[in-house]
Amino acid sequence: MQALRDTTYRRLCDLMYESVGLSFGDAKRSLVSSRLAPRIQRLGLGGFEDYLALIESPEDGGEFQWAVDLLTTNETYFFREPAHFDLLEAELARTRPPKLRVWSAACSFGDEAYSIAMLADELNQVGRIGRDWSVLGTDISDRVLRSAAQGIFPQERLREVSPERLKRHCLRGEGESEGLVQVQPRLRKHLRFGQVNLSRPLPDELGPFDVVFLRNVLIYFDAATKREVVDRVLTCLRPGGLFFIGTAEGRVPCETPLESLGPGAFRRR
């Protein structure tokens, strides 16, 4: 296959930036090329130009979405960055909300949303939070959302989940499903999943939430987009609500006043 030309790369970057806010500088060119090349070959296309024409077209057969999936990582696992879940647990046990609405924005396969649900269910069982709790998981990728809605996971992604928790909330697969676990329907009925592009105006009906997780997605955006996304997401968080970003994402500048509670953890003032 021909190498990725300058002009094609620039057009591809512009398309990704304008549509979904993803920012790839010159440094990411070989990464972009190596992630897309196998897909182009599999589709039997002539090269990057043809692929760009396909994903720019309204009749792309879902290929633009594929390209976004290939250029981002969906890496996630249960109770990733456990300090955030400890803080959430302590806060909920202290404030004892009768009603709780949580948003896992950029939830990928849903591991984060289900981790929150496990915690909420346990707190409800011991009377620390009310029965009216729910978690909304959203992502740009409908592929990961379809998987999240099923609540089926490779057991390896639940490596941080204690055996007691696993037993309480999950069913183990047998036979052909060996190595997979499914989250109990009792928990699943508190979760919903839907597609939301964080780099565009948010749907009016979203929020308000008591807690928002926006973790490990800001890395894809440039400084201006990061700020816009954070402020946009925070419009859906009620004052006093908790806000989490990935601990590796540093302090994110935004207009919305935030009180820092620890690495990647904030309270909206």
Ligand X SMILES: C[S@@+](CC[C@H](N)C(=O)[O-])C[C@H]1O[C@@H](n2cnc3c(N)ncnc32)[C@H](O)[C@@H]1O
Residue 234 near residue 243 (C-beta atoms within 8 A):
yes
Q: Determine if residue 139 is labeled as part of a ligand binding site.
A: yes
User: Catalytic residue at 50?
Assistant: no
Strand ranges of the sheet holding 170-172, from the earlier edge strand across to the other edge: 152-154, 180-183, 170-172
Residue 35 appears among annotated catalytic residues: yes
80 contacts ligand X (rule: CB under 6 A): yes
Question: Which residue of 7, 30, 34, 73 would you call a contact of ligand X, by CB under 6 A?
Answer: 73
Binding of residue 106 to ligand X (CB under 6 A): yes
Choose, from 35, 227, 232, 267, the residue flagged as catalytic: 35
Tell me if 33 contacts ligand X by CB under 6 A.
no
Asked if residues 57 and 46 have their Cβ atoms less than 8 Å apart, the reply is no
Instruction: Quote the tokens at residue 104.
Output: 């896992």
How many residues form the binding site for ligand X (CB under 6 A)?
24
The full DSSP string for 66-88 is: HHHHHHS-----TTSSHHHHHHH
Return the residue of 12, 21, 52, 237 that touches ligand X, per CB under 6 A: 21
CA 214 – CA 225 distance, rounded (Å): 14
Return phi, psi of residue 235, to 5°.
-65, -20
Q: Is 216 among the annotated ligand-binding positions?
A: yes
State the minimum distance, in angstroms, from the CB of residue 46 to ligand X: 28
Query: CB-wise, 49 or 142, nearer to ligand X?
Result: 142
Is 1 or 206 the residue whose CB approaches ligand X more closely? 206
Residue 240 CA to chain centroid, in angstroms?
23
Residue of minimal Cβ distance to ligand X:
76
Establish whether 197 is an annotated binding residue: yes
Burial of 245 (0-12, 13-18, 19+ CB in 10 A): buried
CA dihedral sign of residues 151, 162, 190, 68: negative
Per-residue x/- marks for ligand X, 192-231, CB under 6 A? -----xxx---------------xxx--x-----------
Using CB under 6 A as the criterion, which residues of the chain lie in contact with ligand X when the complex forms?
20-21, 72-76, 80, 106-108, 112, 139-141, 144, 197-199, 215-217, 220, 246
Question: Catalytic site residues?
Answer: 35, 139
Q: Please give the annotated binding residues for S-adenosyl-L-methionine, written as ranges.
A: 74, 76, 80, 112, 139, 197-198, 215-216
